[in-house]
Structure 1
Amino acid sequence: MSAARHDLAAAGAHLAALGLSPGSSGNLSIREGSRVLITPTGTDLAAIDPDGLAVLDLDGTHRDGPRPSKEFPLHTAFYRRDPAARAVIHLHSRHATAAACRPAWSQHSALPPLTPYFVMRVGQTPLLPYAPPGDPRQAAELEQLPFPFRAALLQNHGPVVSGPSVSTAMDAAIELEETAALILALGPLPARLLTNTEAGALAEKYGTSWNG
């Protein structure tokens, strides 16, 4: 069994233990060269079989293994738009999904720069307009957005996050959920946000993106 398969199964178990993938929701993938290993449709992230992953080409062609998650177009779109992406995580985590049901904070990010860790670990997170789960048109829109990002909220659906490794993608998914929870907890109360200068300096230092 490859280390990548083991890492994917371990990440799924950790995210499930945190309560971020209710039922059989959510899907994970990892890129190995020109191939993508992705969880099959209906997979419980708490019990990923490392030897039972679907294998796709970067264009989404199914090469081996069981039927992939219907969300595979989102995963392959991230890999095609960002050569540095090595893992993609899509969840239906409660707070991030709730945030995805609200208007975007700005054109470039659904959520504001509330904490330094959101900017450091996630960065700007655009809100993609609603589409049915698995709709390739939404994946095409994600791929073609003309500014850098590593995470997005799918309107009325949930978060999708990429990273240069499984661990960084997982950390970003957890931080995105926590930021959404903080924003919802604040409600209509005024909040002090990081300034564009503060957020930009953090993004530059930690290799994320922030355009305000």
Structure 2
Amino acid sequence: LRGGNASALLRLPDGSVFVYITPSGAVKPRLSEESIAVMSLDGYTYWGRPSSEYRLHLEVYRRVPGARAVVHAHNPATVQAARLELRLDPGLLGVEARYYLGGCVSRVPPLEPGTQQLAEAAAEALERCPAAVMEGHGAVAVGYAEDPVAAVYEAVDRLEALEDLARAALLEAQAGRRLGG
């Protein structure tokens, strides 16, 4: 997965809720514990400098029941398939894609990154499906596992399944053009 950002929601036994989110502009493989930002659901930053897409993450947690992780990536095949208006049907890849994508992929119209408008559109899309294409931008997915780390992995698995699906749709479109040409 390329670029993007990730977050996890942590609920403590006393009812406190914290959102751990990757920092803005960081190279993800070089992250340290100290570089992860900590926020409240209402946007207060306790620690660090959160991703510029923090609004998207917080809006998803507020609106998508059971969401425990949000991962956004700049998936190149997914962006290209959306640009070509290809249908991203999880049935194209069989059981695995349907398992990770829940039988559907939502679409978010092209909106300015980091804005509340994008946050609201992405949350609305993720209310319908566990993964969504953010047209001209990338993709976003949620994880529902109770364990925050497992939830992040679940969201990453969804994005990888979506990227595989987009590659398959691109290959199918390419083959169709050749066969028809």
**Residue 100 of structure 1 contacts residue 158 of structure 1 at CA under 8 Å; is this kept in 2?**
no
Q: Does 1:29 align with 2:1?
A: no
- Residue 44 of structure 1: aligned partner: 27
1:52 counterpart letter in structure 2:
S
Structure number with higher relative contact order (C-alpha < 8 Å, ≥ 6 residues apart): 2
Identity within the alignment, %: 31
Q: How does 1:1-212 map to 2 (within 5 A)?
A: 20-21=1-2, 25-33=3-11, 34-59=17-42, 61-103=43-85, 105=87, 111-112=88-89, 113-115=91-93, 116-123=95-102, 124-145=104-125, 148-164=128-144, 165-189=151-175
Deviation above 4 Å: which 4+ runs of structure 1? Answer: none
User: TM-score scaled to structure 1, two decimals?
Assistant: 0.70
* CA distance in 1 between partners of 2:47 and 2:126 (Å): 34
The size of the alignment, in residue pairs, is 162
**Structure 2: runs of 5+ lacking an equivalent:** 12-16, 145-150, 177-181
* CA distance in 1 between partners of 2:157 and 2:98 (Å): 12
Q: Output one character per residue of 1:20-79: Cα deviation in whole Å (capped at 9) or x when no partner.
A: 21xxx21011101221100010011111112221111223x1322222111112211221
Greater strand proportion? 2
**Structure 1: runs of 5+ lacking an equivalent:** 1-19, 106-110, 191-212
**Residue 7 of structure 2 contacts residue 19 of structure 2 at CA under 8 Å; is this kept in 1?**
yes
SS in 1 for 2:128: coil
Change (3 A) 1:185 1:139: same
**Residue 104 of structure 1 contacts residue 127 of structure 1 at CA under 8 Å; is this kept in 2?**
no
Backbone CA RMSD of aligned residues: 1.9
